[in-house]
Amino acid sequence: MAKPKLSIILIVYDMPRQALNTLTSLAVPYQRNISSDDYEIVIVENSSGNNLDPQAVAAAAPNSRYFLRDEPSVSPVHAINFAFEQCRGEMIGLMIDGARMVTPRVLEYVLQAQGICPNALIAVPGYNLGPVEHQLAADYNYSEAKERNLLQQCNWQHNGYRLFDISSIGGANPTGYIDPLLESNCVFASRDCFAKIGYADTQFTYPGGGSLNLHMFRSLGMLPETNYYFVLAGEGSFHQLHGGVTTQPAEDREATLRLFAKQLNKLWGVFSVLKREPILLGAVCSEAQRFLHYSSMQSLVRFDRLDSKQTHHWVDDVTRLESQTGKPT
């Protein structure tokens, strides 16, 4: 088998139903205008009492490789680094949470962006299935059963863009995707760029990796190599409800998040979202249009606010340029 152009890492723990949906959404024929020879899916599951069925995995995505491993820690960092070792593509997609389904042209556009710039950073905006962020699901009487019903009704296997019809905007990009993203749970960069940031930093030992994904996203975005930063405006990654870490209601959730933030700030001084101007790429179909409308509105509000303070709209673009040229801009 020839070397694929692209490897997608899917990290799974204790969510077989959701992960199979995700796999279906990453496989051909759901993914359009791409051949399954162009990419591979590297699934790494940390063993639980509720693992994926390898036969179901192979049936859902024949171009996938499935690795089940025992992991004593509660963080996905080791699973991620193990997955990086398996990847054969020059471009790598990281999906730290196997419960995120994607829309049908994500992979087509990623390969296009790679064609423009082999070291491009590509982010897919995040959404939640259902009406609210999933840590609030119980308050809104939203459950896995309701979500299953919603998914069934929208017939997403036939048209994945209908996922937009049953979703709300994600916590990583609450004011849309023209504003800075906090992180992306479906992020693509070159193998070289992932190597340059040291892959997944094993300091991130908290459940779910804590703020690992935020750290990796900003680290990739600030590399001198990632000159092009693309956001796929009409595509999305959709979180399915499951027993994850930050999406679970817990009395001590705030305390947990504070711990996560503390670790991040220790590494960055003060952590900031990636303030780089996104290059939009891709069609925006009818289902996705209301989120573009919202994103555009929110960005107008942000631009006005920053203008009134005479603040640059994209300070990280300036910082990167200055560090590359050694000159203030």
**Can residue 305 be called a binding residue for other proteins (CB under 8 A)?**
no
Cα angle 248-265-325, degrees, rounded to a multiple of 5: 125
- Nearest approach, Cβ of residue 136 and other proteins (Å): 27
The number of residues that bind other proteins (CB under 8 A) is 34
Residues 5-44 vs other proteins: string with x where CB under 8 A? ---------------------------xx-----------
- Nearest approach, Cβ of residue 177 and other proteins (Å): 11
- Nearest approach, Cβ of residue 30 and other proteins (Å): 11
Coil, strand or helix at 174: coil
- Nearest approach, Cβ of residue 133 and other proteins (Å): 24
Dihedral angle, C-alpha 289, 118, 80, 148, nearest 10 °: 20
DSSP 69-122: E---SS-SHHHHHHHHHH--SSEEEEES-TTEEE-TTHHHHHHHHHHH-TT-EE
Omega of the bond leading into 54 within 30 degrees of 0 (cis): no
**Can residue 168 be called a binding residue for other proteins (CB under 8 A)?**
no
CB 152 within 8 A of CB 143: no
Residues 103-132 vs other proteins: string with x where CB under 8 A? -xx------x--xx----------------
- Restricting to residues 273-302, name those near other proteins by CB under 8 A: 277-286, 289-290, 292-293, 296-297, 299-300
Measure Cα distances from 157 to 28, 132, 251, 288 in Å.
Answer: 11, 23, 36, 17
- Nearest approach, Cβ of residue 304 and other proteins (Å): 8
**Can residue 233 be called a binding residue for other proteins (CB under 8 A)?**
yes
Question: Which of 23, 110 has the CB closer to other proteins?
Answer: 110
> Which is nearest to 76 in space by CA: 14, 13, 19, 9?
13
Backbone angles phi, psi at 194, to 5 degrees: -60, -35
Coil, strand or helix at 61: coil
- Nearest approach, Cβ of residue 7 and other proteins (Å): 21
Residue ranges that bind other proteins, judged by CB under 8 A: 32-33, 104-105, 112, 115-116, 158-159, 161, 178, 233-234, 277-286, 289-290, 292-293, 296-297, 299-300, 303, 307, 313
